Amino acid sequence: MTDVNLKGWNFIVYTLIKNNFKNYSFSLSELYKYEQYFKLVYPENFHIQEKLRQTLQNLRTKGLLVFQTKGHYQLNHRDASESVIQVSHQEIVYLLSNESIPGWVKIGRTNAINRRLKELYNTSVPLPFRIEEKIETHTLEESRILEKSIHSIIDTLNPNLRKHTEAYKREFFRMSTDEGKSIFKLVTQIIGITPTQENRLAA
């Protein structure tokens, strides 16, 4: 699928448009309403609107976006309407914390959260992981896109949280649990899914 092949801001904005605007048509002012959610993740970025406009131009160049009138756009209808038959398969994208690893969170996906928590609670860590938030999906593809969205948003908006750290390409991010929850809040606006909050220790 096209959105899976895109990276960085192109992936973020394309996914936001596809999931939030009726008939994939929108105005620039409607897109700007999502600026507040980006600022939750990266409050020191004062050029989000400029980046959004630049990304729209990139999507136009790739043939994924059509300019209608001044300040109004539409995704390429044929591409955005692409559908794939999915087999129902519950997956969970999770946000975990661990008191023995302060200042870091783990963001990944699984089809069995309790089993995953037990797997992580091994001799390498003195304390169990805690679920801070989770988002339930209905297909493997949906969970894969969701997990990629979260990782891509973090690496794009603030590379110092993982991309430029020793944890690059792993599921650990240098941030507080509150910052992690802000990421999940942004993603739910982009993807259109509501997270389930839990504060539960592994058995």
Can you give the CATH number for the domain in which 60 is found? 1.10.10.10
Residue 200 has pLDDT above 50, yes or no: no
72 and 95 together in one domain: no
Q: What is the chain's mean pLDDT, rounded?
A: 83
Q: Which helix (H) or strand (E) holds 107?
A: strand 105-110
pLDDT value at 4 more than 90: no
Mean pLDDT of 91-118: 93
Residue 92 has pLDDT above 70, yes or no: yes
Q: Are residues 126 and 41 in the same domain?
A: no
Residues 124 and 65 in one domain: no
The pLDDT > 90 percentage for the chain reads: 36
Domain extent for 44: 2-80
Confidence of residue 85 (pLDDT cuts 50, 70, 90): very low
pLDDT of residue 105: 95
Q: Are residues 110 and 165 in the same domain?
A: yes
pTM above 0.85, yes or no: no
For residues 183 and 144, membership in a common domain is answered with yes
> Is 17 part of a structural domain of the chain?
yes
The answer to whether residue 86 sits within a structural domain is no
Among 15, 49, 80, identify where a domain stops. Answer: 80
* Residues 124 and 185 reside in one and the same domain: yes
Domain count, the chain: 2
pLDDT band at 25 (very low <50, low <70, confident <90, very high): very high
pLDDT of 84 > 50? The answer is no
The model's confidence at residue 168, banded by pLDDT at 50, 70 and 90, is: confident
Do 69 and 113 sit in the same domain of this protein? Answer: no
> Does residue 98 share a domain with residue 72?
no
Given 46, 80, 114, the domain boundary residue is: 80
- Least Cα distance to 19 among 3, 1, 6 occurs for 3
